[in-house]
Amino acid sequence: MIQQKIESLRSKIEHLNKQYYVYHISEVSDSEFDSLLKELEKLEAENPQFFDSNSPTQRVGSDLIGGFESVEHRYPMQSLGNTYSIGEVSEWMERTTKESNLSNSYCCELKFDGAAISLTYEKGRFTRAVTRGDGVRGDDVSAAIRTIRSIPMTLCGDNIPAVMEVRGEVYMPFGVFEQLNERRYDIGEEPFANPRNATSGSLKLQSPTEIAARELECVLYSIQCDTLSTKTHHETLQLMHSWGFVTSTYTTLCHSIEEVERYVAKWDKARHKLPFATDGIVIKVDSLAVQRTLGSTAKAPRWAVAYKFKAEEAITTLLSVEFSVGRTGAVTPVANLEPVQLSGTTVKRASMHNAEQIALLDIRVGDKVAIEKGGEIIPKITRVVTEQRGLFSTPIEFPERCPACYSPLVKREGEAKHYCVNSSGCPPQIVGRIAHFVSRKAMYIDSIGEQTIELLFANKLVRSIADLYDLRAEQIEGLERMGELSASNIIAGIEKSKSVPYARVLFALGIRYVGETTAKKLAAAIPSFDELGGASFERLVAVEEVGEKIARSILEYFSDEANILTIERLRSVGLQFEGEAKEVLSDILSGKRVVISGTFERHSRDELKELIEAHGGLNQSSVGKNTDLLLAGAGLGPAKLEKAQKLGTIIISETDFELMINS
């Protein structure tokens, strides 16, 4: 009886997942879905004899994956031949016609820019996920793939092969990518260059919980097996969709080079509006029989080709290189460029990442360099135009000492960055930590900007975050660009910050790797700073989103006597070092995911976020498939509005929101 109940719940939840991720239909509310999942979790915990690795409850399993097993692909994962012009595509199509002696149809698909994956299903059940690797062998990343909710663990439908490998691409949407990089900035880590790199890195994380937080997506586009009932690739995609796989909605069947050319031209222009990165078009002969006739070379199939979009590139001159020191001590080389237009913006600077990147590209001051926007977001130098290099150019030397305080730089094991370890005496680190401390998501002392911090530091009025609370108005009034009103505003802002809640104080301290979200999780799990300071490694890693790296960083922070003295000074002036239970006003928004965008008449965005949480809702930063409400204010971006309308997200005004929570 219990086993039947468990199987029934698993089946129902898998059905709801399929309806949601494949057909974009929400048959139940999020709270109802969560209730079903919790019921299943409880029954499975009470009856471990019925454990199933493919259960919906195992989407985020053990928090440690371990090493990655190397696995041989049953069918090799070949790469595609690339073309860069419609002329080359036309020549390829002519060859396929001549060699098959048939007038073929062609399936055109967007080429998602992520990480290739092969999923094995046996008797309709997911058994393994393997990366491309070298095409013959790849890494088993099954634990990571289980966290992607759009990938079905159990298939349903007719004509499912007994054993098959399903090929596709795991990718990270732009909205998630931007949030991830924002979090990395928060904790002092280098941002990812593009969504593809972020996706590949995510699949190799050790913590499934952390992988799940990356909100990866997956689109599937082919099947490899010994028996398949369909006759064309297009039919295969439709069959895959019926079994529960997410397939691309941007696929078109073309019958001539003119139709292919129109498809390419359309997406070469429209790709910039897509919510994910794409670097080209994949064109496949539609007939599976013709595919078998054409066969493959040692490297690539003859029946498919990739048309690569031309990257938007600009050539400019590298004028100089600065070595910037961040609040964590990381030293980042920044290229100062002769201003140039690229993708509608003027680019003057680009990150050069680290010493290894400089050496790899052999970049020299005065070189002509090509720049692109990685993933259409971050400017990067991709190559040097060496044929235009001057005779007297010299390699860039990465400094051995900190450019700000002249302390020796160190390179930590496993990291590409160089660091200045003089955290207490290096001016950019001190200024950076104070700037982080007063920032909007931390203490929110908006009367103090970075220039003001530099002015206070230069005049020896602040040397640490605790010094802010010793400032007096008369000390500030006499400074350059300061007057009585400015001084009064600064002192008032500092005083107001004493009421900032514990979670934000914890984030403001700038503990390495502890971003805004992690600080909230820590504050909820360990609601006292004294308790946090005495927490063991085991207790820390038990907190959601706290892995080994974060736990070690917290322990290291509390082992530093200077940090303890700073905390005591902050405590003595009245900062909040204990959490308070959040006031729960209602459950009217229970389980609802809400995005706030624009400006509002009666509330600040932070006030709205607190109201959403107080009424049981969840705040999101970008509109996605699972967003329930878009709270729209003045100045709402047209792209966000269009996406919400396309996804069927309910859009409400500030007045609508007030009526909702007061009903």
Q: How high is the pLDDT of residue 255? A: 93
What would the pLDDT profile of 194-206 be if each residue is shown by its tens digit? 788 889 888 888 6
Joined tokens for residue 349: 């600077």
% of the chain residues with pLDDT over 90: 38
User: Which residues have C-beta within 8 Å of that of residue 288, sequence separation ≥ 6?
Assistant: 228, 230, 231, 232, 233, 236
Q: How high is the pLDDT of residue 65? A: 42
Q: How high is the pLDDT of residue 64? A: 36
Span 274-282, average pLDDT: 90
Q: How high is the pLDDT of residue 63? A: 35
Alpha-carbon 553 to chain mean position: 22
User: What is the DSSP code (8-state) at residue 274?
Assistant: S
All structural domains of the chain: 2-59 (1.10.287.610), 71-308 (3.30.470.30), 313-411 (2.40.50.140), 427-572 (1.10.150.20), 593-662 (3.40.50.10190)
Q: How high is the pLDDT of residue 233? A: 94
Phi, psi at residue 548, to the nearest 5°? -60, -40
Tell me the pLDDT band of 212, cut-offs 50, 70 and 90. confident
Span 121-144, average pLDDT: 88
pTM of the model: 0.61
Q: Is the pLDDT of residue 134 over 80?
A: no
Given 18, 111, 380, 520, the catalytic residue: 111
Span 407-415, average pLDDT: 86
Q: How high is the pLDDT of residue 619? A: 78
Q: How high is the pLDDT of residue 617? A: 83
Span 118-132, average pLDDT: 92
Could you tell me if 443 and 497 are in contact, meaning their C-beta atoms sit under 8 angstroms apart? Answer: yes
What would the pLDDT profile of 506-561 be if each residue is shown by its tens digit? 999 999 889 888 898 898 889 899 999 999 998 898 887 788 889 999 999 999 99
| Least confident segment among 53-57, 218-222, 260-264, 607-611 | 53-57
**Nearest-angstrom CA–CA distance, 86 and 586:** 59
Tell me the pLDDT band of 126, cut-offs 50, 70 and 90. very high
What would the pLDDT profile of 355-391 be if each residue is shown by its tens digit? 888 888 889 998 999 888 754 456 888 888 888 887 7
**Nearest-angstrom CA–CA distance, 29 and 233:** 36
Could you tell me if 214 and 176 are in contact, meaning their C-beta atoms sit under 8 angstroms apart? Answer: yes
| Least confident segment among 55-59, 467-471, 479-483 | 55-59
Burial tier of 395 (Cβ tally within 10 Å: 0-12, 13-18, 19+) = exposed
Span 588-617, average pLDDT: 83
% of the chain residues with pLDDT over 70: 93
More confident residue, 660 or 121: 121
| Least confident segment among 80-89, 318-327, 446-455, 595-604 | 595-604
Tell me the pLDDT band of 62, cut-offs 50, 70 and 90. very low
Q: How high is the pLDDT of residue 163? A: 92
What would the pLDDT profile of 382-404 be if each residue is shown by its tens digit? 888 888 887 777 888 899 999 99
11, 209, 601 from 506: Cα distances, Å: 42, 22, 30
Q: How high is the pLDDT of residue 603? A: 84
Tell me the pLDDT band of 80, cut-offs 50, 70 and 90. confident
**Has 123 been annotated as catalytic?**
no
Span 219-237, average pLDDT: 91
- Which residue, chain included where needed, has tokens 């663990």? 153
Q: How high is the pLDDT of residue 30? A: 54
Could you tell me if 622 and 585 are in contact, meaning their C-beta atoms sit under 8 angstroms apart? Answer: no
Which pairs count as long-range contacts for 634-640, CB under 8 Å and 24+ apart, including other chains?
A: 634/598, 634/599, 634/600, 635/598, 635/599, 636/597, 636/598, 637/597, 639/273, 640/595, 640/597
Q: Is the pLDDT of residue 38 over 90?
A: no
Q: Is the pLDDT of residue 272 over 90?
A: no
DSSP string, 357-425: HHHHHT-BTT-EEEEEEETTTEEEEEEE-GGG--TT--BPPPPSB-TTT-PBEEE-TT-S-EEE--TTT
Span 409-428, average pLDDT: 87
Burial tier of 123 (Cβ tally within 10 Å: 0-12, 13-18, 19+) = exposed
Span 222-245, average pLDDT: 91
Q: Is 12 strand, coil or helix? A: helix
Q: How high is the pLDDT of residue 360? A: 82
Look over the chain and give the mean of its residue pLDDT values, rounded to a whole number.
85
**Nearest-angstrom CA–CA distance, 536 and 540:** 6
What would the pLDDT profile of 332-353 be if each residue is shown by its tens digit? 898 999 998 876 678 888 878 7
Tell me the pLDDT band of 25, cut-offs 50, 70 and 90. low
